[in-house]
Amino acid sequence: MEDIAKIKQEIDRAENLEELDRIRRKYFGKKGSISFALRTLGTLKEEERRKQAPALQILKREIEEAVKQRSKNLAAKEADANLSGEWVDVSAPGRKVRSGHLHPLTRLQEKVNGVFSSLGFEVVEGPEIETEWYNFDALNIPKDHPARDMWDTFWLKPESEKLLLRTHTSPVQIRYMETHQPPFRIIAPGRVFRHEASDASHDIQFYQLEGLMVDKDISVANFKAVINEFFKALFEKDVKIRLRPSYFPFVEPGFEIDMKSASGWLEMMGAGMVHPNVFQAVGYNPANLALSGAEGWQGFAFGIGLDRIAMMKYKIDDIRLFYGGDVRFLKQF
Ligand code: FA5
């Protein structure tokens, strides 16, 4: 009985199933002591065997039972431990999913598109890589024209191919007119590139939005009405703007439009009445162009600096913030 108690204690101290198995083998394995005792029973004398056999059988049964019991307990314990690793606290606050959002310039562009769409303008697009013809020649800017100096250009290699990153969205005017007859009104938003020094209001890439309306009897008065409506709808209040005479080879007359801000006037766009040479370059019938007033095609064109508009709308003092990729800046929108 003393042995039984000792072995049972040993069994109860087994910390895991592996250890329990080792103990079991110690007594019941091939070389186990209980197995050995049972085997040697046969070699004992009759009388001795009768004396020892029942006690040995009890020992065997009790120990087997103890191992079985401990094994059950340990298995349940291990299952519990595994489960607790998978335990989920359903009352814990959820982890926030960080979602991104549209870039402020994209959002502004969508808004501007919406305003012009409501005024009946169709949205069209053109390529960012342009030919010399579309970017300059067709826009009445010949090779030796001093106006080419205004747009320092990124030329693509080989230079003989005369491909460039467009310096403005005006080439889209040409592409559209080549394939469409008036009357129409379009806008063409997109990215443009200039090889120039950057500062708080200039970058080497920025966004423009070209506008073009061609019809009969179109005048500067129509342009002023459209652009006033645009500023009012975008800024949701009356905005002070001014037209300043300026020069672009593809318009006549030409002007620039400034907007009043707390720190003074900021140039927002260039504009003017489409130059007859541009109509000619796209192949519009010269006979039609020669006619004036209600008989001939006339149009206005404009090119808005979208970044400048965004700077005004969101009160941003440095254009370079739009392109810096700083999440702290972008998260504010
Ligand atoms: C042009 O690019 C003309 N194509 C605009 C035009 C279209 C005139 C149709 C007449 C008819 P300009 O270089 O001024 O013009 O640029 C137009 C606008 O783009 C500017 O008023 C300004 O708001 C913006 N802009 C010009 N350069 C930069 C720059 N480096 N960084 C950011 N915005 C610029």
pLDDT reported for residue 294: 42
pLDDT reported for residue 291: 55
Dist CA 176 CA 123 (whole Å): 11
Mean pLDDT of 232-242: 90
Q: Tell me the best of 169, 248, 279, 311 to mutate to test the pocket of ligand 1, counting ligand atoms within 8 Å of each CB and taking the most.
A: 248
Quick one: which atom of ligand 1 is closest to the CA of 268?
Answer: 23
308 & 188 share domain: yes
Quick one: which atom of ligand 1 is closest to the CA of 302?
Answer: 9
pLDDT reported for residue 135: 96
Q: ∠60-62-25 over CA atoms, to 5°?
A: 55
pLDDT 10s digits, 242-291: 999 999 999 999 999 999 888 889 899 999 999 999 999 998 865 665 55
pLDDT 10s digits, 292-328: 544 578 999 999 999 999 999 999 999 999 999 999 9
Instruction: Identify whether 92 is part of a domain.
Output: no
Dist CA 23 CA 201 (whole Å): 83
CA 200 from chain centre, in angstroms, equals 25
64 & 168 share domain: no
pLDDT reported for residue 46: 86
Instruction: Identify whether 93 is part of a domain.
Output: no
Instruction: Identify whether 36 is part of a domain.
Output: yes
250 & 208 share domain: yes
- Tell me the residue range of the domain where 52 lies: 2-84
pLDDT 10s digits, 177-197: 999 999 999 999 999 999 989
Asked whether 308 lines ligand 1 (CB < 6 A), one says yes
pLDDT reported for residue 293: 46
Helix axes 33-41, 46-85, angle to 10 degrees: 150
Q: How many helices (H) and strands (E) does the chain have?
A: 12, 9
**Is residue 33 over pLDDT 90?**
no
